[in-house]
Structure 1
Amino acid sequence: MKKIIFIKTLTLLLLSILIVSCTEPYALQTNTFEEAIVVEASITNEFKKQEIKISRTYRFEENGPTFETGATVIITDDQGNTYDFEEQSEMYISTSEFQAVPDRQYKLNITTADGKTYQSNNQTLTTANQIESLIPTVVTKGDGERGVQINVNSFDPTNTSKYYRYTYEETYKVIVPKWSPNDLYYNSLSNAFELSIRDPNTRICYSSVNSNTNILTSTNEQSEDRVNFPVRFISDQNYIISHRYSILVKQYVQNLESHTFYKTLKDLSSSGSILSQNQPGFFYGNIRAIENPNEKVIGFFDVSSVSTKRMFFNYADLFPDEPLPPYFNDCHIVTFNLTDPGPPSTTSELINAIENNTVRYFAHGYPEYHMVIPVCGDCTSFSSNIIPSFWIE
């Protein structure tokens, strides 16, 4: 999802250069489209297989970006080292694990299948700065909405980090509210509905969601390089914190060039419309086409130090003795009365609902069977019942 949002925003950006000082209503059409290569490249000081995404801008009527296949992707450094990447699952992944190290210059080199060459500016690793803590606090915003604000804290005594970008992955426990230890099925041999034992691992699941916006801050105007930044706010009515919640925050230290690129991208994506009085025009990253310097290239090669930290909390830790937030679905009980003559017969409707997997058994008192939709009675219908390896109760 984050990748698609990134590409779509940049596609809008490219289209905006073709619409200058619009003061009359204008209908965007396909003939305003200009294709450009899009590069999402970031390497860090984490020792791992690094990843790079290369695609093309896409038209509004298309479903999403087109992955650039068949490219040769290499990162080089100023000491003659070469790091090769190979194509895997619509990504370019380094063939071996490596990490960016201080005081070394890195350059991204791309040659597409049609022979075009693209190259980044030299980039060096930014200052390493560790996240000190993640603090959840109950707050009430200016509009009266109450919830949990999660602040990230860090401090760089050298006062050289300055520019920060954050991403997060949140994971939360889901307990379905209308779970039953039994399942219902139709036995055609006995011409009757019968109960079976439901898998007990369908009651509790764990869902994970990644952030999908650019979360940026800077300490450039502060006397010291100290971060106390709200990276996530969750309403106290959001079911994701109903039981146990965890967030893994990644802090990327950027240089000014990278920070400016991501901030401009964020400002453009939140401006509401590219058809505004203030046309942003096209802004370049740090990647250029070698054969044709006038070719528009979208994207940035970023070399950042990264720090990660995870924290957990239970709803009761922050909201003791308060009722849980409402589940994301109302979970109304649907009753099938088998004595209802129809047409169609209630029996056939219930059989179809079970076979089509659109209901789950909750309770019954013959001739009535009480059913719920899957998300209310079986968490595996939308989540995973595998406990994450990092999970702590």
Structure 2
Amino acid sequence: MAFLAIVFNGCTETYPLLTNTYEEIIVVEATLTNELKNQEIKITKTSKFEDQGVQAETGAKVTVKDDQNNEYLFVESGAGTYKSQSAFQAIPDRKYTLEITTKDGKIYQSTPQTLTTVNPIESVVPSLATNKDNETGVQITVNTFDPAKTSKYYRYEYDETYKIVAPRWTSLKIIATGPQTVDLINNDPNTRICYSSKNSTDIILVNTNDKTEDRVNLPIRFIEGSNYIIGHRYSILVKQYVENLEAYTFHKTLRDIASSSSILSPKQPGLISGNIKCINDSSTKVIGFFDVASYSEKRIFFNYSDFFPNKPIPYFNTCDDIPFLFCFGGEDCEGETMIYNINRELMTYIGNSGTRYTLVDAVCGDCTSFSSNIKPSFWID
């Protein structure tokens, strides 16, 4: 398998990872914030392009130290993730250093980092808009302002959650009771309403250096009116990190060279210069950045009817009725096919007239076939 040329930052200098070569290197994702919480650091390894997943770095000793002789120990919690044993937060004017000792004895250390300006999100606003393709939808904009002009460098992420109502749900469910028999039972009402969530995958950056004010007015998410995720009720949690110039430059480099959706993709080509190095082996390389950033978040909700009061609710499936003649052996009989779809939960019941049954794709009648019926703790109807 041939590989694209990749340039990584080593312990002391940049170096090329050339075509047809592969070197296992640890990848560190570490953002310490001013939230009082169990902080999290992720440590994985570079992967070959043909690998299906990312390999976790296990068995490492991970600590964060500050210049007041405080030390915070992180423990492994699975999948390359390490969480602090106790909740803590980054405090202004303190210097924090990340140290990682891997099970093979390599010691990685970051340069000292201090907390950036604490500057909360002002607002997150949805509005009716048209995109470049002339599609009407909802534009979600995040607004922030620092009158002291000390924030300047911003990174954003978002989590979106949306309510799904199965459009062809019925109170009856069809089950196969034998190889050639079916029965109707009461359907579970918990299969009608579900909630799905997705996280942003792009590296979203803004800097205000070329502006007269340290003000952000960023269109962070556009959702077409035909997109089913806003068909009932939608929520977005916007997360803001105020970064220093070094962290912003690192993430901008990743954004500019990456073609994947991962914040830190070890499979992506390009020059990646971080602030972590191997201090006991100058030939060992590392990819990653230890970021100490002030954090702010804001959540909003809206309904489809708030912006499209007279339009039918969109859904990702056409949900057409599919008829079956429930008999066996005859030329037009479709009993075997119907039993097959019922047993594999591929279709759900709509109605019947004698031996003529109408079914529909399961995603139309049972939202749990692709989503979760557990309402999130933050959800407000």
Q: TM-score w.r.t. structure 2 length?
A: 0.91
> Offset of 1:177 from its aligned partner?
1.3
Summarize the Cα distance change of 1:143–1:187 in structure 2 as closer, same or farther, 3 Å threshold: closer
Report the CA distance between 1:355 and its aligned residue: 1.6
Match of 1:381 among 364, 369, 373: 369
* Alpha-carbon offset, residue 129 of structure 1: 0.6
Seen in structure 2, the aligned counterparts of structure 1 residues 378 and 343 have a Cα distance that, compared at 3 Å, is same
8 Å contact from structure 1 (residues 136, 149) kept in 2 = yes
Residue 354 in structure 1 maps to residue 342 in structure 2: yes
- Consecutive unaligned residues in structure 1, runs of 5 or more: 1-9, 20-27, 273-278
Q: CA deviation at 1:202?
A: 0.9
Which structure carries more helix by proportion? 1
Q: Distance in 2 between matches of 1:86 and 1:37?
A: 17
CA deviation map 1:61-80 (0-9, x unaligned): 21121100110000000000
Q: Using the TM superposition, give the Cα deviation of residue 116 of structure 1 relative to its aligned residue in structure 2, in angstroms.
A: 0.4
SS of 2:31 mapped into structure 1: strand
> Do the aligned residues in 1 keep the contact of 2:157 with 2:200 (CA within 8 Å)?
yes
SS in structure 2 opposite 1:324? coil
Q: Is the CA contact 2:123–2:143 (under 8 Å) kept in the aligned structure 1?
A: yes
Counterparts in 2 of 1:390 and 1:329: CA distance versus 1, 3 Å: same
* 1:50-69 superposed matches below 5 A: 50-69=39-58
Cross-structure match for 2:265: none
Of residues 135, 140, 163, the one that matches 2:125 is: 135
- Once the two structures are superposed, residues 273-296 of structure 1 have per-residue CA deviations (whole angstroms, 9 ceiling, x without a partner) of xxxxxx985332000011223432
CA contact (8 A) 2:138 2:224 kept: yes
Which amino acid is 2:23 matched to? E
Does 2:164 correspond to 1:177? no
Corresponding position of 1:3: none
> What is the RMSD of the two structures over their aligned residues, measured on CA atoms?
2.4
For 1:261 and 1:11, the matched residues in 2 are separated by 19
Tell me how far apart the structure 1 counterparts of residues 214 and 198 of structure 2 sit (CA, whole Å): 30
Q: Which amino acid aligns with 2:359?
A: M
Contact 1:147–1:236 (CA under 8 A) maintained in structure 2: yes
Relative distance call for 1:280 and 1:370 in structure 2 (3 A) is closer
The number of residue pairs the alignment matches comes to 366
How is 1:39-50 mapped onto 2 (pairs within 5 angstroms)? 39-50=28-39
Residues 13 and 237 from structure 1, CA distance in 2 versus in 1: closer, same or farther, beyond 3 angstroms? farther
* Aligned equivalent of 2:143, options 130, 149, 153: 153
1:106 aligned to 2:96? yes
Verify: 1:196 aligned to 2:185, yes or no: yes
Cα deviations across residues 79-120 of structure 1 (Å, max 9, x unaligned)? Answer: 000000111122111111100010000000000000001000
Distance 2:250 2:176 in 1: 60
2:169 is aligned with 1:207: no
Match of 1:17 in 2: 16
Q: Which of 257, 268, 278 is the equivalent residue of 2:246?
A: 257
Q: Is the CA contact 1:40–1:53 (under 8 Å) kept in the aligned structure 2?
A: yes
Q: State the partner residue of 1:241.
A: 230
CA–CA distance in structure 1, aligned partners of residues 211 and 371 of structure 2? 43
Residue aligning to 2:134 = 144
Cα pair distance change 1:110/1:344, threshold 3 Å: farther
Do structure 1's residue 230 and structure 2's residue 219 form an aligned pair? yes
Aligned pairs (5 A) from 1:225-374: 225-270=214-259, 281-325=270-314, 327-339=315-327, 341=329, 346-374=334-362
CA distance 1:228–1:108, shift in 2 (3 Å)? same
Cα drift, residue 193 of structure 1: 1.9
Give the letter for the 1:153 counterpart.
N
Distance 2:131 2:54 in 1: 37
Compared with structure 1, are the counterparts of its residues 345 and 337 closer, same or farther at alpha carbon in structure 2 (3 Å cutoff)? closer
SS of equivalent residue, structure 1 residue 259: helix
Secondary structure, aligned partner of 1:348: helix
Counterpart code for 1:168: Y
1:250 CA drift (Å): 0.6
Q: Which moved further from structure 2: 281-290 or 299-308? A: 281-290
> Bigger shift: 191-200 or 66-75?
191-200
- Would you say the 8 A contact 1:171–1:208 is kept in 2? yes
Aligned counterpart for 2:152 among listed residues 146, 154, 162: 162
> What is the CA–CA distance in structure 2 between the aligned matches of 1:34 and 1:149, rounded to whole Å?
43
Contiguous gaps of at least 5 residues in structure 2: 10-14, 262-267
343 and 299 in structure 1: CA distance in 2 versus 1, 3 angstrom threshold: farther
- 1:7 is matched with none
Aligned equivalents of 1:384, 1:78: Cα separation in 2: 45
Q: For residue 380 of structure 1, give the secondary structure of its aligned residue in structure 2.
A: helix
CA contact (8 A) 1:153 1:227 kept: yes
In 2, Cα distance between the equivalents of 1:160 and 1:169?
27
Q: Is 2:5–2:16's contact at 8 Å kept on the other side of the alignment?
A: no
How far off its partner does 1:344 sit?
10
- What TM-score comes out, normalization by structure 1 length? 0.88
Equivalence for 2:23: 34
Q: Does the aligned pair in 2 maintain the 1:185–1:194 contact within 8 Å?
A: yes
* Partner secondary structure for residue 258 of structure 1: helix
The CA distance in 2 between the partners of 1:351 and 1:284, in whole Å, is 59
Q: What's the secondary structure of 2:76's corresponding residue?
A: strand
Question: Residue 246 of structure 2 aligns to a residue in which SS?
Answer: helix
In 1: Cα distance, 2:369 partner to 2:5 partner: 34
Which amino acid is 1:50 matched to?
A: Q
Q: Distance between the aligned counterparts of 1:17 and 1:328, measured in 2? A: 45
